Structure 1
Amino acid sequence: MCIAVFLWQSHPLYPFLLFLNRDEYLNRATEALRWWQDGETLGGRDLVGGGTWLGCNRHGRIAFLTNFRETSSIPDAKSRGDLPLRYLQSQKSPAEFAEEIEKEASLYNGFNLVVAHVFSKSMFYVTNRPLRGSMSFPTPTSTLLGPRLRDGFNQLLTQHPGGEFPVKTMVEEVMTDTVKDQEPDLPHVFPPDTEYHLSSIFVDVPRPAGRYGTRSISALTIKSHGQVCFYERHLEPGGGSWKELTQHFVIQNQTST
């Protein structure tokens, strides 16, 4: 599971602002934030499936993914982490890519996928577990994934209405929250005790297959002139110490899709 909150095309300085926690088993092999071998793609890497949960590239493409909490899974399902990577390394528009993924969505376990291109101001949300209607559609100008984040995120936005965001402060105040939901607010997919421990924004819980929790906290900001800041705080393999990494670059070919 992951949890994310983002702002899209509704701030005078930041066309895009994202905070995302990746929750995973602590013993799952993972590569920290870095430029991939193609020299164009930036993000962490899941070394088991080979894909990513969040990435961007030098030409203004963004993709991120969250999973559904489900009691059953598809045998031999395709890796969901491949979806963001495919978009980042493609030449398709967000709408074209969303249409392509709809045709093969049944091959994956449950996912929420957001793909965007900053300078064409195009963003699409794709899911293979729709509540109603289509599996893909354009997002509103301001969208939140993970409603428990809304109050804290909006409070910090109010404190910084038009200027620079203190990214590390926002990460610390919003994304490390360990407050848990009470039983009436749980989704009632897993047993209540399991869901209780998984209900906080920041997760850390022992499970039968090993310790499970928030492996990384990411903040991705893009300013109106194309300056990108990608910050990651990640837990070293096996649950060691926390490390910080930051990458800065300016988007190229700003009129491309």
Structure 2
Amino acid sequence: MCIAAWIWQAHPIYQLLLLQNRDEFHDRPTKPLGWWSDGKTSILGGRDGIAGGTWMGCTRNGRVAFITNVLEPDFIPNSKSRGDLPVRFLESLKTPIEFAEELAKEEEEYNGYNLVLADVCSKIMVYVSNRPKSEPVCVQVVSPGLHVLTNARLDTPWHKAQLLGESLKEMLRSNGDKEIAAKEMVEKLMGNRVKAEKDRLPNTGCDSDWEHKLSSIFVETDTKLGVYGTRSTGVLAVKTDGEVCFYEKYLKEGVWKEHSVQYHLNV
């Protein structure tokens, strides 16, 4: 399901500082962080080994995209893979707003999603969601500041969203204008397994027991289909001088590993 938190255009060092947990079945084939391309554009990110998409990726020219699923009881069979959406944007020449408006015409082709598109060089970030079904597709320019995205609309105050947002805000405050190590952020912020009280669960229409199992920042639960939960954490840091560092801690064959890639924006 995933959870992400970030600060955008509101920090003395970082143009963007983004953290995301990816939740998925542990046995789903996945490629860890690395450069890959199906065309002219090289994309940096992890990659789904079945559908070929990504949950979080970036490019050398400053484009960034990440996605979370919407928690809902209904599932559209034979729908298009939501992981294709970040890839399509990263490979596109359209602005975030242009791309979002294009997606608005395809709302019924995908299960529920929350998608964030950014062009760091032009300082534009856009949020797109095709849920609720009863409403038009949401296309919203993301304001500078700190934001959290779970499996509902942007900045919806779910328990784990509030917990992660407050923890990130405090870490940024206590470090002032100093850099923060990606590994430190992952260890202190993204591994929290505290679940919400039953009376603070969201009313998504899903089974309340399932909602409870997904209510922590770090998720791990047994299901009939196998272990489901957090299997990677990414930290993307884009500094004001154009230096980029993408760190990933990921699960491979039952063992946690880590890897990072650094580059400089082409502007």
TM (norm. structure 2) is: 0.90
Q: Which residue of 2 aligns with 1:75?
A: 77
1:5 aligns with 2:5: yes
Q: Which residue of 1 aligns with 2:263?
A: 249
Q: Which residue of 1 aligns with 2:141?
A: 138
Paired amino acid for 1:23: D
For 1:48 and 1:68, the matched residues in 2 are separated by: 20
1:183 aligns with 2:198: yes
Contact 1:63 1:88 in 2 (8 A): yes
For 1:68 and 1:107, the matched residues in 2 are separated by: 14
Q: Which residue of 1 aligns with 2:158?
A: none
Could you report, residue by residue, the CA deviation over 1:73-95 in whole angstroms, capped at 9, with x for unpaired residues?
Answer: 11211000000000001111101
Alignment of 1:112-131 (within 5 A): 112-130=114-132
Q: Which residue of 2 aligns with 1:64?
A: 66
Q: Which residue of 2 aligns with 1:233?
A: 249
Could you report, residue by residue, the CA deviation over 1:4-47 in whole angstroms, capped at 9, with x for unpaired residues?
Answer: 00111001110100000000001111110000035621000011
Could you report, residue by residue, the CA deviation over 1:166-206 in whole angstroms, capped at 9, with x for unpaired residues?
Answer: 22111101000000101011113332222222111001100
Where in structure 2 are there 5+ consecutive unaligned residues?
Answer: 150-160
Instruction: Report the secondary structure of 1:15's partner residue.
Output: strand
Structure 1 residue 105, shift from structure 2 partner: 1.6
Contact 2:232 2:251 in 1 (8 A): yes
Bigger shift: residues 135-144 or 56-65: 135-144
For 2:239 and 2:66, the matched residues in 1 are separated by: 18
After superposition, the Cα gap between the structure-2 partners of 1:129 and 1:71, relative to the gap in structure 1 and judged at 3 Å, is: same
**Selected match of 2:167 from 145, 148, 152:** 152
For 1:110 and 1:242, the matched residues in 2 are separated by: 30
Instruction: Report the secondary structure of 1:144's partner residue.
Output: strand
For 1:7 and 1:77, the matched residues in 2 are separated by: 32
RMSD value over aligned CA atoms?
Answer: 1.4
Contact 2:130 2:137 in 1 (8 A): no
Where in structure 1 are there 5+ consecutive unaligned residues?
Answer: none
Bigger shift: residues 96-105 or 137-146: 137-146
The number of aligned residues is 251
Paired amino acid for 1:57: T
Q: Which residue of 1 aligns with 2:36?
A: 36
Paired amino acid for 1:128: N
Contact 2:76 2:110 in 1 (8 A): yes
TM (norm. structure 1) is: 0.94
Contact 1:7 1:144 in 2 (8 A): no
For 2:88 and 2:209, the matched residues in 1 are separated by: 37
Q: Which residue of 2 aligns with 1:23?
A: 23
Structure 1 residue 133, shift from structure 2 partner: 6.3
**Selected match of 1:208 from 224, 239, 253:** 224
Paired amino acid for 1:140: S
Bigger shift: residues 194-203 or 93-102: 194-203
Instruction: Report the secondary structure of 1:103's partner residue.
Output: helix
Instruction: Report the secondary structure of 1:153's partner residue.
Output: helix
**Selected match of 2:213 from 197, 213, 223:** 197
For 1:134 and 1:66, the matched residues in 2 are separated by: 15
For 1:166 and 1:33, the matched residues in 2 are separated by: 18
1:97 aligns with 2:99: yes
Paired amino acid for 2:188: E
Contact 2:131 2:137 in 1 (8 A): no
